Structure 1
Amino acid sequence: MTSLPVPAATTAAGPRPDLEFTVHHRPAPQGSKRHVGGGRLLEQSKRVKPWREAVDTAARAAMTARHVLEHGGRPAGPFEPIDGPLSLEVIFTVRKPASAPKRRVTWPTTRDSGDIDKLLRSTFDALTTAGAIADDSRIVEVTARKVHPGEGLDALETPGAVIRVWRLLEAVA
């Protein structure tokens, strides 16, 4: 017998995320840092901080709304971060280059769209800072996609991201 991870919350339509929200801001990859002296390191990209703040704000709003809903319409103290083994789905909507065909769906493969692993890094750190998840080391499964506005499943009309988080339980198969 093997144990398989399964979502903790399920509905007739399938697994229901423990947290789901949308961020309306241009995604930014968290890349290298540069040393500025005195033991201080700064992000190379100026876009990372605003992206992380946008994710933080949207995650806190979604956690607060979920917390209020769970307690009959009234907040009942601070919310707890989602903990345990986690599965995440992140759909990044990135800007479509002006040179890309307008009437055809294209993949966001340009350098400007960002490396997906670095986009995830900045997003995971923001989820941890927001208190939405206990720690990004708890993430054991990730599905991530980059799309252009209006092109594909869960694509937004402007740059941003759709983020879904599931807490996994162990099930005996």
Structure 2
Amino acid sequence: MTAPAFHITVHGTPGPQGSKRHVGSGRMVESSAKVKPWREAVKSAALDALAYDEAWAPLAEAVRVDVVFTLARPKSHYGTGKNTDRVKPSAPQYPTGKPDLDKTVRSTLDALTDAGVWRDDSFVNALFAVKAFPLTGSDALSHPGAVIRVWRLNTPKESAPCPS
């Protein structure tokens, strides 16, 4: 596979977007307090990366997005006493609790849209998303955050031969 068109690492606690609650007077707010800081972290990391590419124009073509979200392990996964820094053998290998993967992807893609990575997240044609615990697999960070890669799916057309 070719190199990604865009690649960033985001530090912070991934926050889900999607569930809203009614607070009165017709106002709805996000249920998760983590969504706003997460979207800001993603947008900031994307804007920092895009600042180094003066020729960047928001993508307006089919793309594939790969995201590996690293989530903190609950304290219950660790031992006690002198083993407080060791994961228990009985601890699960994969995160199965909140945040929901689809809602976390939604907040992340919206933040990338806000940053100008693409014109609209409707250009995302293929998506591979994973929730992982720290240092448990490819691209899993040592702390909460995410590794995000975006590939163009359209193959550049060969230049047409010059007529003789």
The TM-score normalised by the length of structure 1 is 0.78
- How far did residue 63 of structure 1 move? 1.3
Distance in 1, Cα, partners of 2:24 & 2:111: 25
Aligned residue runs from structure 1 range 52-131, under 5 A: 52-65=39-52, 67=53, 75=54, 79-100=56-77, 102=87, 104=89, 106-111=93-98, 114-131=99-116
Map of 1:133 onto structure 2: 118
Bigger share in strand: 1
Aligned alpha-carbon RMSD (Å): 2.0
Q: 1:169 aligns with which of 147, 154, 164?
A: 154
- How far did residue 133 of structure 1 move? 1.4
Distance in 1, Cα, partners of 2:155 & 2:34: 38
Distance in 1, Cα, partners of 2:107 & 2:47: 16
Distance in 1, Cα, partners of 2:156 & 2:118: 22
CA contact (8 A) 1:82 1:133 kept: yes
- How far did residue 41 of structure 1 move? 2.1
Unaligned runs of 5+ in 2: 79-86, 158-164
Runs of 4+ in structure 1 off by over 6 angstroms are: none
Structure with larger Rg: 2
CA contact (8 A) 2:77 2:88 kept: no
Unaligned runs of 5+ in 1: 1-13, 68-74
Q: Does 1:47 align with 2:34?
A: yes
- How far did residue 109 of structure 1 move? 0.9
Give the 3-state SS of the residue equivalent to 1:119 in structure 2: helix
Task: Look up the equivalent residue of 1:93 and give its one-letter code.
Answer: T
Task: Look up the equivalent residue of 1:135 and give its one-letter code.
Answer: D
CA contact (8 A) 1:91 1:155 kept: yes
Map of 2:23 onto structure 1: 36
CA deviations over 1:106-129 (Å, ceiling 9, x no partner): 101123xx1110110000110001
- How far did residue 38 of structure 1 move? 4.1
CA contact (8 A) 1:86 1:165 kept: yes
The TM-score normalised by the length of structure 2 is 0.82
Map of 1:148 onto structure 2: 133
